[in-house]
Structure 1
Amino acid sequence: MPFRLLKPQVETIISDTTKSVDERLLSICQLLESHLEYYNWVGFYFANSDKKELYLGPYIGEPTDHTVIPFGKGICGQVAVSNENFVVPDVAAQDNYIACSITVKAEIVVPIFKDGKNIGQIDIDSNTPDPFTDKDERFLEFVCTKVSEIL
């Protein structure tokens, strides 16, 4: 499904105040995973800046042992430090990659900012090599902006 058709669905999920924040975040994960065939694991991590750790929030996909990630460790941990999107076309080529599953071939992580501070991120794993484009980045930036409105 094209991103332009997913954007209004993301906005509808975000604006549904009858659901908790975690329920809305899980709904976003489900929406993306079910409508984008190369999004095989979709989840949110949130920062604890005092401890310099990321904590796993709502997600959809295979269970993961990586519920706490130190800043700087893996792709997610690097985004917590750099404050920049990180697109990994081939996870096998990354020295600082935390393997979640042998089926994962690529990853994209986009930070969530609230009042100018990096408070978390959306993390997407793909079992397809090099699937992410600039359009994925722009769409996920949109998602993160919308998510920041309810955090």
Structure 2
Amino acid sequence: MKITLADTSDAKLIHHVMIRAFMEYKDEEPPSSALEETVESISAAVNDGEQSFISYVDTEPVGMVRFRLKENGVYFYRLSVIPEKQGQGIATKILKSLEDYAKQNRKTTVLCKVRMDASKNIKLYNSLGYSIYKEEVVNKSNGVNIKVVSMMKQLQ
């Protein structure tokens, strides 16, 4: 498996992998807002400083994570692995690459937010050394409230 830092031309690929992975949440109430994103919205985010890692098996893109370098650490979101490749350690390897990148950029903390009802994601992050430091309700513009946890990992 190869993990590479994406460039601005990869927005379509990032979108494709993300949508395939997040389709499992289409029937959630409410569905993940990842499903509302477009290639254009991802391109705009990249132009505004967002970065991504893409994971490949042979030449097939199988996973990705989007992130931003912040003053207090690296904030990641939309970690995605295509359904037929889930459970093979790809997300773990992507996060390890992200943590290495954080260290290279002198960041000591990696952070994320997770829906409380995404228990398998919380369990994965816990197993990798992330801990919950905050619980909150996010009020979406459409009036829907979503319970989320903020998680962090201190890097050595």
TM-score (norm 2): 0.30
- Larger RCO: Structure 1 or Structure 2 (Cα < 8 Å, ≥ 6 residues apart)? 1
Q: 1 or 2, which has the higher strand percentage?
A: 2
